[in-house]
Chains A and B, each alone.
Chain A
């Protein structure tokens, strides 16, 4: 049972029940849709890029507690970052949830996802929003194709 508590930490439950930055972003100039075929999770990430800076980011969609909380915490983590910084964060986050965290990284709030590495089936849930962000950041300022974590 303690393992289950590692996965569903308070902060994750909180963000899954009350996601932050949820809903469309009026000034978005980048957008991508993500879809997890295994469980039907869907997420849309809206980004307002100003030069190379993520000026604002919001999301909408439906999914499990892990994917919703991940998207919610993502928005807080990448706001104000450069594209390169956001991509590095994605890489570090992916290493964290797959059980190979880069030493010496301070994950801040994102550290609550460390428990996901004990649940291989849930790695895709945690990383869906990040894959989708990557797709949004690398997309042309036109309508992009949905990405999949398959």
Chain B
């Protein structure tokens, strides 16, 4: 199993040329054709395809090491536990967290946010405020609405400008002594906007407000450093970063994870149980009730390794040139309007076609082997902001090529002719 960087020393990875054709060889799914045409998979913001090392890790666990963790004395149990905890170490490194105690495994970003929002109810009261932004995915809106409904707190929303950027002045004004927590995406899934999160975190901290960052879209595109960012919580999904579905991680500063009560009860999260009193396990197990997704966790660790080996800044640079190329191509398509034109963007080309519904655009592109998403992208408030029901979204991954974007643009010209 060769990955593009396997013959290069770690120190040289970031400067080595990016050979996308070589990278593509790591992804068996990409070898298929759709109606006789090679698949151009441009739906990476929905989920990413998996490289062979991730698939191998899942396969190896189930064929060689399958056992429950943290409780079996036999050899398989030891191996499974060791690999599960090794994955925690890999995620810690991936996020540059200080300690593995700060890495909680969850089903994905949605569950991570629900964990924090639900545990945070103990710190919310009537009159308190929770501040989010206008570009959030439903998973960073609804958990906070539920927490607010349960406690009488109010949900505040910082608006977007016409480019799809958070209005930072408004954001700062909305932070106030009543704000108990603020939560926002690192990168918008619907628009591709990269939020200036370092600045937003500083502004929140200046008011003593803890910060949760939804990193679902950022993890596959950017090198991350939660210590440099200094956020209190950072949430990621494995399947958006070339890992398995059903696994993700919540980073939480130790002091905050200690302060929050557990959100689910069960095995593994306890130290001792009697009918009178239960004492909770130490971090991070306090938040990991029940048998976890062991295979998925090991697969997530393999995905972290894969991205590190490929060079995360190198991936970001490659994707950046790809996005610039695609932006230019699409600008020349008649009747196309880009939705989300932030100065800082990553990975996403979201657009409408004059007089053509995104669903029809998606079907025509699919018939040409080009896979995109059509819809509201689980971000209805973003669609409302731009007064559109839906967009077509092409989202880029580390294996996409200029040739695939050429096919996208050609397909869109065909759409324009067909529905003119």
Residues of A whose CB lies within 8 Å of any CB of B are 1, 3-4, 7-8, 13, 16-17, 38-42, 62-66, 68, 119, 121-122, 125
Question: Closest 9 CB pairs between A and B?
Answer: A64-B357, A40-B389, A64-B359, A4-B367, A39-B359, A40-B390, A65-B360, A64-B360, A39-B375
Quote the shortest CB–CB distance from A72 to chain B (angstroms).
14
A62-B389, A63-B357 as given contacts; A40 in contact with B383, CB under 8 Å: yes
Q: Nearest B residue to A65 by beta-carbon distance?
A: B360
A8-B418, A13-B419 as given contacts; A40 in contact with B375, CB under 8 Å: yes
Neighbour of A125 across the interface among B359, B367, B390, CB < 8 A: B359
B360 with A66: CB separation less than 8 A: yes
Interface set, chain B 339-380, CB cutoff 8 A to A: 355-360, 363-364, 367, 374-376
B367, B376, B418, most chain A CB atoms within 10 A? B367
Using a Cβ cutoff of 8 Å, how many contacts connect chains A and B?
54
Whether the Cβ atoms of A40 and B367 lie closer than 8 Å is no
Kindly state whether residue B35 has any CB partner on chain A within 8 Å. Answer: yes
- Contacting residues, chain B, for A3 (C-beta < 8 A): 35, 367
Give every chain A residue within 8 A of B367 (Cβ-Cβ).
1, 3-4
Q: Which residues of the partner chain A approach B419 to less than 8 Å between Cβ atoms?
A: 13, 16-17, 65
* Chain A positions within 8 Å of B364 at CB level: 4, 8
> By CB atoms of chain A within 10 A, which of B355, B374, B389 has the most?
B389
Q: Which residues of B contact A63 (CB under 8 A)?
A: 357, 359
Q: How far is the CA of A150 from the CA of B363 in the complex (A)?
A: 20
- Which residues of A lie under 8 Å from residue B35 when comparing CB positions? 1, 3
Contacts of B376 in A (CB 8 A): 39-40
| A7 to B418 alpha-carbon distance, docked (Å) | 12
Bound-state Cα–Cα, A24 to B394, Å: 36
Distance A4 CA – B360 CA, assembled complex (angstroms): 11
**Complexed CA–CA distance, A67 and B359 (Å):** 10
Pairs across A and B, CB under 8 Å, 27 listed: A1-B35, A3-B35, A3-B367, A4-B363, A7-B363, A8-B364, A8-B418, A16-B419, A17-B355, A39-B358, A39-B374, A39-B375, A39-B390, A40-B375, A40-B376, A40-B389, A41-B359, A41-B389, A42-B389, A64-B359, A65-B357, A65-B360, A65-B419, A66-B359, A66-B360, A68-B357, A122-B359
On B, residues with C-beta under 8 Å from A are 35, 355-360, 363-364, 367, 374-376, 383, 389-390, 418-419
Q: Which residues of A contact B390 (CB under 8 A)?
A: 39-40
With a CB–CB cut-off of 8 A, which chain A residues contact B418?
8, 13
CA–CA, A41 and B360, complex, Å: 12
What residues on A are CB-neighbors of B356 within 8 Å? Answer: 65
Residues of chain B lying within 8 A (CB to CB) of residue A17: 355, 419
CA separation between A55 and B363, bound complex, in Å?
36
* Complex: chain A residue closest to B359, CB-CB: A64
Additional pairs, 5, CB under 8 Å, beyond known A13-B418, A65-B356: A1-B367, A8-B418, A39-B357, A39-B359, A41-B359
Q: How far is the CA of A63 from the CA of B367 in the complex (A)?
A: 20
- A40, B108: Cα distance in complex, Å: 25
A100 → chain B closest CB, angstroms: 22
B34 to chain A, nearest CB (A): 11
Instruction: State A125–B35 Cα separation when bound (angstroms).
Output: 23
How far is it, in angstroms, between the C-alpha of A123 and the C-alpha of B413 when the chains are bound? 25
Which chain B residues lie closer than 8 Å to A40 at the CB level?
Answer: 375-376, 383, 389-390
- Residues of chain B within 8 A (CB-CB) of A8 are 360, 364, 418
Q: Are A119 and B375 CB-contacts (below 8 A) given A13-B419, A42-B389?
A: no
Closest to B376 in A: A40
Q: How far is the CB of B420 from chain A (nearest CB, A)?
A: 9
Min CB distance, A65 to chain B, in Å?
A: 5
- How far is A121 from B374 in the complex, measured between Cα atoms in Å? 11
